[in-house]
Every structure is written in structure tokens, then in C-alpha cells.
Amino acid sequence: MEILYENLLNVTWQQIVMWAIGGILIYLAIKKEMEPTLLLPIGFGAILVNLPLSGAITHGEEEGALTTLFEAGIANELFPLILFIGIGAMIDFGPLLSNPKLMIFGAAAQFGIFFTLCAASMFFDLKDAASIAIIGAADGPTSIVVANKLNSNYLGAIMVAAYSYMALVPIIQPPVIKLLTTKKERMIRMPYEQKEVKKSTRILFPIVITVIAGLVAPASVSLVGFLMFGNLIRECGVLNSLSETAQKVLANLVTIFLGITIASQMQAENFLALDTLLILGLGLFAFIFDTVGGVVFAKILNLFLKKKVNPMIGAAGISAFPMSGRIVHKMGLEEDPQNFLLMHSIGVNVSGQIASVIAGGLILNFFM
């Protein structure tokens, strides 16, 4: 009987706090439906790894399953890159190709990354600061790859911050957008003109983007290449079954493994530290200023345009696809039920996906 209760004596208050954090993430996933495919595995995994002497993680010579998965899929960047194939297969670049000018909003919304780099460098060494700044890409796989390649000491906190804030985009973005815009600006209508995009253009686009990104930021080739390969599978027209598999089975399977494996880095002794809290704060800072960069750029552009753009679409330039594009569309409808911004905001959103990956590659080029 003593053996049954012996492990209870090993429970620490820090582990109990991590159980609570895991419970909150599960609550947000189920009750609030905030990216349940991400938050539920991360939340449950956080509980798994914070049980005393948990068999899910390695202790001495006893190898844990989550530690093995981490070494096999995240430490070598395999899971994030495979996930990019699925993401690429999900993305329709049609709205962007029919209005290429939207690409500039995706670039503007990466402002938070470089602003956060400056702020983080005051507290961490340059490579760790660069790894933390990329949280602002609002792109979990990119954050993992960059932090891994730069050998960051804070990979666990960076991964958790990146994926948690991606899920919390519906809470983070609307107040920032409303603070920066007037009701009149939010009511600006942007009629969408349907333009046919040739199949040849859709096929050439992922190839051309990969080549350009590879020339500008060689370190981004694996990131951009896997994303664009997934899109090429979608658009080529002869691999429909593979495209469907990549979008559904592959993406869902890798997301499950990725989420629960990320939690292996949420052990209480490492996670409940001042540095981790600072990284979470800087990650939020990056997300906010990415949104600010996109919206402010749109407002500045309106000073010179005869045909005004709704500045809210600038906020969709972060890489959280398709959440951010849908949020902007929803906010437009709240101000004016006839204001349909979806195609514009999704166009900006997919441009943000490309821009964030290239930004990650540039960070690697500068600091590797």
C-alpha cells in the first residue's frame, strides 16, 4: 500500500501549476474551440510530462515516448517541414494571384519580428533573441525550424508561445485593430472583382516563389520548398488524391504528434522560470506589433490612394492562416453587414504565410 502512495510525495507545487496550465489549454480547445488540434494535445501533454517520474519522458536510462518523438520529429525539424506540405496543399493562392498588390501587406505585417528582435536582444544573446523574435511570424513550424537551427536554449518556451498565440489570435487581434482604426475606416468597402487565374500561373507560382526565395534567403529553401511543394501538389491537377491526403490525413496526423511532442518541453522545472515568462511576453509583443505594422502600413497607403483600402486587411498579413483572414472578414461584417472582405483578407493572409517563411530564412541568413 505504501508503494501505491509513494509517488504522491514526489508531487511539487510547480507540477500542480503545470497541470492547471494544461487544463486551461484543454478548456480553451474544447469550450472555446480555439485551435483544438493544437491546444488539446499541448494541454494534455503538459499534464503527462509533469506527473512525478512520468514514463512519457526520459529519466536516466529509461527512455520516454515523448522524448523519443521529440528527437525523431522536432529536434531534426522533420515534423514542421512535413506539416508545411499539408499547409501548402490547403492554401489557395488564387485571391493573391488575382491581386498581387496584396503581397505588400504580408511583408508589412512582419514588422513585429524585427522590432521584437531589437527588444529581445536587450535580455538574451543575439541567436536566442532572433529565435524569440520569429514567434511574431505567427507560424509554429517556422519558429521551430529557426530556433532549432540557431541552437536556441529556449526551444520549449518558443514552441509553446508560437502555437499558443496562434490559437489566441481571435482574442489578440480584434482589440489591437479597433484601437488603431476608426469606425469609418473599418466600414470601407472593397468590392472584389473575380479574375480568372490561369492554371499555368497557379503551377508556376510555387516554383517561381521557391527559386526567388532560395536566391534571396538560401536558408529558407527547406521551409519555402516544402510549403510550395504542397501547393504544387494541389494545383498540378494530376495528384488530387495526394493533395487530399496531405490536406487532411497528413496534416492532422503530424499536428497531433507535433502538439503532444511540444509538451515534452513543458516540464515544470524548465517552464516555470523568469526567462520563460519573459519569452511569452516578448512573443505577445511580437504578435501585437505584427498586427500594428500591417494596419498602420494600410493607413499610410490610404494617404496616397484614391481608391481606399480597408486598413483591417493589413492585420491579416500575419501567418496565422486562415484564422486572421476570417477575423478581419468577421469584423468587417460587424461594422457593415454588406462589407465582404474575405477574399481580400485571405489574399493578404496567404501572402503573410509566404512572407513569414522568407523572414525566417532571412533571420537564419543573418545569424547562422
One-letter amino acid at 73 equals G
pTM over the 0.85 mark:
yes
Let me know how many helices (H) and strands (E) the chain has, helices first: 21, 0
HSE-up of residue 45 (Cα within 13 Å, Cβ side): 27
Calpha distance 216→236 (Å, rounded): 26
Please name which of 89, 204, 74 lies closest in space to residue 146, comparing C-alpha atoms: 74
The 8-class DSSP code of residue 307 comes to S
pLDDT of residue 112: 84
Cell numbers representing residue 358 in the block: 522568407
For the chain, the first-to-last Cα distance in angstroms comes to: 55
Cα-to-chain-centroid distance, residue 354 = 12
Q: What is the structure's pLDDT at 322?
A: 79
16 C-beta neighbours (distance < 10 Å), count: 12
Grid cell in block for residue 16: 500542480
Low-confidence ranges of the chain (pLDDT < 50): none
Distance of CA 180 to the CA centre of its chain: 23
Separation CA 152–CA 76 (nearest Å): 14
Tens digits of residue pLDDT in 121-167: 999 999 999 999 988 877 888 888 898 889 888 888 888 888 877 77
Q: For residues 45 and 42, what is the distance between their CA atoms, to the nearest angstrom?
A: 5
